[in-house]
Chains A and B, each alone.
Chain A
Amino acid sequence: DAGVTQSPTHLIKTRGQQVTLRCSPISGHKSVSWYQQVLGQGPQFIFQYYEKEERGRGNFPDRFSARQFPNYSSELNVNALLLGDSALYLCASRSTGMNTEAFFGQGTRLTVV
């Protein structure tokens, strides 16, 4: 079975540009979350989506937005990129239920120059 897949794996953008990152969850998982991992730190929660609705948002500016599609895949958009947005962006999916764990994709390495 395929795990969580993210695309692209690497991306270089210029300050001020916009970027879209994509995520496909594990088959059957309806919940997708996005995390930002700056070098040397643990992942920081950005968004959670479930059944195409935003269910949680971390402490990130409005330049960050996301959506979830009917097939449960998701996109993360970042506008007006800053140098500080350079990070590994991780997508995690989980199934519904009481005790369910989050499984992560390999991430998208975004470099802003």
Chain B
Amino acid sequence: GQQLNQSPQSMFIQEGEDVSMNCTSSSIFNTWLWYKQDPGEGPVLLIALYKAGELTSNGRLTVQFGTTRKDSFLNISASIPSDVGIYFCAGQGTGRRALTFGSGTRLQVQP
């Protein structure tokens, strides 16, 4: 099935470092969402974006909805050990409630 192109596939960083990941698509989406998934759990919603060009921050998270509506970016500042997990982007098109997910970015943080 269709998936978004998410990169990088994995990251190993030191505590306190900043992290950037992105998601691209050949299709236009009207909504971009970012989820975090811990082992054995379901994805937990971090943030949602509804407007092209929108830049939103939530604590140490900053997310942008690309102006072309075909990409999105997630930044985490000053990483901490509990940031460890798999981060997924997801796009939602017009009139459809189904989400198309990226393949995930696995983040590991060294204390």
Residues of A within 8 A of B (CB): 4, 31, 33, 35, 40-45, 48, 50, 55-56, 58-59, 90, 92, 94, 99, 101-107, 109
Contact = CB atoms under 8 A, between A and B. Distances in A.
A35 B33 CA distance: 16
B1 A45 contact: yes
Interface of B: 1, 3-4, 6, 31, 33, 35, 40-45, 48, 50, 88, 90, 96-104
A106 B42 CA distance: 4
Contact of B97 (A42, A55, A103, A109): A55
A107 B4 CA distance: 22
Nearest to B43: A104
A15 B9 CA distance: 32
Contacts of B99: 33, 35, 43, 45, 92, 102
Nearest to A99: B50
Given A103-B45, A104-B44, A42 B103 contact: yes
6 contacts: A35-B99, A42-B3, A50-B97, A99-B48, A102-B99, A107-B41
Given A41-B103, A42-B4, 5 more contacts: A44-B3, A56-B96, A56-B98, A99-B48, A101-B33
